[in-house]
Amino acid sequence: MSNFLDPAILFFVFGAFAGAVKSNLEIPQPIARFLSLYLLMALGLKGGFALHKSGFTLEIGLALGLAVFLAIIIPFIGYLVLRTKLNNYDAAAVAATYGSVSAVTFITATQALDQYGIAFGGHMAAAMALMESPAIILAILLANKARASATNSKQSTGISKILHESFTDGAQLLLLGSMLVGLVSGDDGQKIMAPFSIDLFKGMLAFFLLDMGLMAAKNFEGLKGKPPITLFYAIGAPLVHASIALGLCKLLGLPLGDTVLLMVLAASASYIAVPAVLRHALPEVNPALYMGMSLGITFPFNIILGIPLYTYVAGLTY
């Protein structure tokens, strides 16, 4: 209940309501873009400062390795399940969307853990960055295979171009660059940047979630007429993926905070990076399908119910 009463979450709910009643309330795109970049920069700095204090340990290596493993196995499992009800192109697109991650869901989860008093490693921001690209690459490979089978040709989307776009994406570079700045500047840098990266963070997150609520309401309409499996998968997949992450985290002995964040990352779905690539790599798929699922259903579910649920369930096992 405390998570639902958090001002940032309430602003998301308000935004969703405003979008549902067709209000003309909107956040100008340049401002929304600035807010997104600010949140990534602040998160990267926070992670870098934390890494400066902790250093690189075996535990950190295990967490990052597990993040990459989850980013590979989740879209592969998703594709096998989805192709039983959807065509190969749709299955690949949705699997990639749910195999990648949502930065805003992750950022919201870090704020929730701070509120609950649960510590987590600064390296988890790096884990988020590492989980963004594997699903995109897998989707392109699957789509190329399906396209070649359907046309008996070798026409395909260039993997090298996709790899370059994935690893040089501005938002991802900003996150990693900010983390490096925090790592190098250490405690002195943290004191200097605190008014920017800490004091303003909560208000900026609330403003951004207002915009996300408006977008979620609009994208939900894109699911009208879609196969029933899309609705079930949009809720069921996050729960299954979070459970897989929990089991693997327990197996490796990762701490509670890192476990919760890996559960959140596994349960989240991309609505920025992956859709941007899929529009070019998979033109056969209507973006309303994967955007409606990820932003219209999964994102609100995780923000309002998922994060406290994953935290509670993980806490029962520690």
**Angle CA(65)–CA(272)–CA(149) in degrees, nearest 5?**
80
The pLDDT confidence band at residue 257, using thresholds 50, 70 and 90, is: very high
Per-residue model confidence (pLDDT) at position 158 = 56
CA distance 102 to 318: 26
Q: Give the pLDDT mean for 176-199.
A: 89
At 31-73, the pLDDT tens digits run 988 988 888 888 888 888 877 877 788 889 999 999 999 999 9
The candidate with the shortest Cα–Cα distance to 14, out of 223, 297, 206, is 206
At 265-288, the pLDDT tens digits run 999 998 877 776 777 677 778 777
Higher pLDDT, 1 or 135: 135
Could you give the percent of the chain with pLDDT greater than 90? 36
CATH of domain 7-19+28-216+226-316: 1.20.1530.20
For all residues of the chain together, what is the average pLDDT? 85
Of 97-101, 193-197, 284-288, the least confident? 284-288
User: Is the pLDDT confidence value at 163 over 70?
Assistant: no
The separation between the first and the last C-alpha atoms of the chain, rounded to the nearest angstrom, is 21
User: Is the pLDDT confidence value at 314 over 90?
Assistant: yes
88-99 helix and 273-281 helix, angle to the nearest 10 degrees: 160
The Cα-based distances of 318 to 51, 59, 91, 305, 313 in angstroms read 24, 17, 36, 21, 9
DSSP string, the chain: -TTTTSHHHHHHHHHHHHHHTT------HHHHHHHHHHHHHHHHHHHHHHHHHH---HHHHHHHHHHHHHHHHHHHHHHHHHTTTS-HHHHHHHHHHHHS--HHHHHHHHHHHHHHT----TTHHHHHHHTSSHHHHHHHHHHHHHHHHHHTS-----HHHHHHHHHS-HHHHHHHHHHHHHHHHHHHHHHHHHIIIIITHHHHHHHHHHHHHHHHHHHHGGGTT--HHHHHHHHHHHHHHHHHHHHHHHHHT--HHHHHHHHHHHH---SSHHHHHHHHH-TTS-HHHHHHHIIIIIHHHIIIIIHHHHHHHHHHT-
Q: Where are the chain's structural domains?
A: 7-19+28-216+226-316
